[in-house]
Amino acid sequence: MQRIIRGGLTLQRNILFNVQKSQIIRQQHFKASVVVPASATATATATAEATEDISRPTKVFDTNRDRQFNMNSNRLFAQELLEKITENTNNLPPPIFTEKCCEFYKQLDREGKLEFFDVLSKEFDVDRENAVKQAKDYIQAGNSNNAVQIEKNLQYYLEPKYNIFLDRIHQLPNGLKFLADMRADLLDIMGSRGSVTYNEYFSLEQGIRLKIKKYVIGFLKLERITWEKSSASLLEKICSYEAVHQVKDWKDIKRRLGPDRRVYAFFENNIPNEPLVFVHVALLPTMANSVQAILNAPNPTKQDSNLSNFKYAICYSITTQQGLGGINLGNYLIKQAVDDLQKQFPLLQVFATLSPMPGFRQWLNNHVDDDPTIQAEFDQIKDWKNVGFNSRDQEVLKDPLMRLCSRYILSEKRIGNNALDPVANFHLRNGACAHQIHWQADISEKGIRDSFGIMINYNYITDRLESNHRLYQKNGTISISEPNDNEESWLSKWIIRK
């Protein structure tokens, strides 16, 4: 027993010695920009540079592999750490190596993170050389006794080695949050779809996305955020993360949590104070046609808060952390929020949204000069681009812009026959109907800049969600539920005109 204890202590000392050694080497030979992430109030940046210039840095870990020492220090340090974390041995590496790698990553600037992702995607990707060899052996093996083992070997070489690294991170406290932030950094670095950088790191980004989805789905917990019970730190995160309608102050967030309002969020069990995705809902007596009317509404009286007054539940904002985009968390959240609201308010008749159209104005600006059908809408309006949206002259733009907005929502498609507008694509993919577009529904600076102030309702008709979803996924069919008694049925008019 004493021999075992002494052996364990010796192993522990060796691990600590290696970590201390890596810290000393890091301080002496490596350069890194230290960036403190932006908070709601300030951003701090500091840069630390090494004082010695040594052209051949000492190895941090002995990996028994030849090294090309023309790599810069950050790249070498990242590669050494990642190799230690993902090495193929019977013993799991201690968490301290993974923690060290995360600390190292957080210190990197944009260029350093790009280099880190380059190491991950190239040095820790699928082992294609061995995979090809095993595939040939597998074909030749046929039904022999070796076939099963060769198949296992092939599966091993076909899995990217960086998956081991991602699994190790997820095992750490707040590991999921780190992975989400890391993916957000990668998406920012990749840039626009189809660019050289985007294509180069697409496989790595998708690998991280699928891992996060695996970690999250099945471990989500729905909670209602309240002014009375939610912690101040959680409310602060709801304010700072809000991506659709900025929260102005504490009075503003308190109003959004009032008796005629609801905020729901999804949390993961291991990070209970980190909202992964959250939705704001207004309980109203009529369909919403102005987000300012929702945001600036006075506190309700007792009579206003009567449950019988709530006929419409209007989702006016949904925010997903950037690194969790594409995992459909918003879809799950809306459905669970609707279920909870139906239980609380059985008299609710309509579940809908008041949604922005963030790409409308950009689409119009990009196509107006080379599309005669768009130009024809403005034949009678001189210098339409400079008409002020806070002036009396703006009414002359209403009819042409509402017609073009209907075309944008219903007819403009991306690859795959889905709606071009990202918010439209999200709700239509969930099975919602395009309901009605509204003029001057968001007169904020952002609303005017993005969509000339036009917004749209998407109607979640519960017994039509599945059929709408299937039709949209199959051929891009968009269902409309526009009210029949409304003179401004712009969506229906566009369909008839088309």
pLDDT tens for 62-109 read 333 333 333 457 888 889 889 989 886 656 667 888 999 999 999 999
Catalytic residue (one of 22, 230, 355, 479): 355
The pLDDT, as a whole number, for residue 149 is 86
Mean pLDDT check: name the lowest of 218-222, 235-239, 379-383, 478-482.
379-383
Mean pLDDT check: name the lowest of 55-59, 171-175, 345-349.
55-59
Per residue in 19-60, pLDDT tens? 444 443 333 333 333 333 333 333 333 323 332 332 333 333
The pLDDT, as a whole number, for residue 90 is 54
Confidence band of 482 (pLDDT split at 50, 70, 90): confident
Q: Work out the average pLDDT over 121-145.
A: 84
Q: Would you call 280 a catalytic residue per the annotation?
A: no
Nearest to 407 by CA among 440, 374, 433: 374
**DSSP character at residue 283:** E
325 phi/psi in degrees, rounded to 5? -65, 145
What's the CA gap between 88 and 446, in Å, rounded? Answer: 52
**pLDDT beyond 90 at 224:** yes
Per residue in 429-456, pLDDT tens? 999 999 999 999 999 999 999 999 999 9
**DSSP character at residue 242:** -
Strand partners, 326: none
248 phi/psi in degrees, rounded to 5? -80, -40
Using an 8 Å Cβ cutoff, are 63 and 84 in contact? yes
Q: Work out the average pLDDT over 225-234.
A: 96
**Could you tell me the pTM of the whole model?**
0.76
| Sign for the pseudo-dihedral over CA of 90, 91, 95, 101 | negative
The pLDDT, as a whole number, for residue 483 is 81
The pLDDT, as a whole number, for residue 391 is 55
Q: Tokens standing for 322?
A: 């950037």
Per residue in 287-310, pLDDT tens? 999 999 999 999 998 888 787 889
More confident residue, 10 or 381: 381
Using an 8 Å Cβ cutoff, are 97 and 85 in contact? yes
Q: Would you call 427 a catalytic residue per the annotation?
A: yes
Q: Work out the average pLDDT over 391-420.
A: 88
- Mean pLDDT, rounded, of the chain: 83
The pLDDT, as a whole number, for residue 498 is 67
The pLDDT, as a whole number, for residue 178 is 95
The pLDDT, as a whole number, for residue 486 is 65
What's the CA gap between 9 and 13, in Å, rounded? Answer: 6
Q: Tokens standing for 225?
A: 């955020």
**Cα distances (Å, whole numbers) of residue 23 to 11, 12, 104, 109:** 19, 17, 11, 19
**pLDDT beyond 90 at 271:** no
**pLDDT beyond 60 at 316:** yes
Q: Work out the average pLDDT over 138-162.
A: 83
**Cα distances (Å, whole numbers) of residue 122 to 59, 115, 281:** 20, 10, 45
Confidence band of 390 (pLDDT split at 50, 70, 90): low
Catalytic residue (one of 245, 427, 435, 438): 427
Using an 8 Å Cβ cutoff, are 338 and 300 in contact? no
What's the CA gap between 84 and 70, in Å, rounded? Answer: 21
The pLDDT, as a whole number, for residue 98 is 92
Per residue in 353-384, pLDDT tens? 999 999 999 999 999 989 999 999 988 777 77
The pLDDT, as a whole number, for residue 76 is 87
The pLDDT, as a whole number, for residue 389 is 56
Q: Work out the average pLDDT over 215-238.
A: 93
Contacts of 57 (CB under 8 A, 6+ apart): 25, 29, 30, 69, 73, 76
Q: What percent of the chain has pLDDT over 70?
A: 82
More confident residue, 17 or 451: 451
Q: What is the DSSP code string of 157-201?
A: HHS-THHHHHHHHHTSTTHHHHHHHHHHHHHHHH-STTSHHHHHH
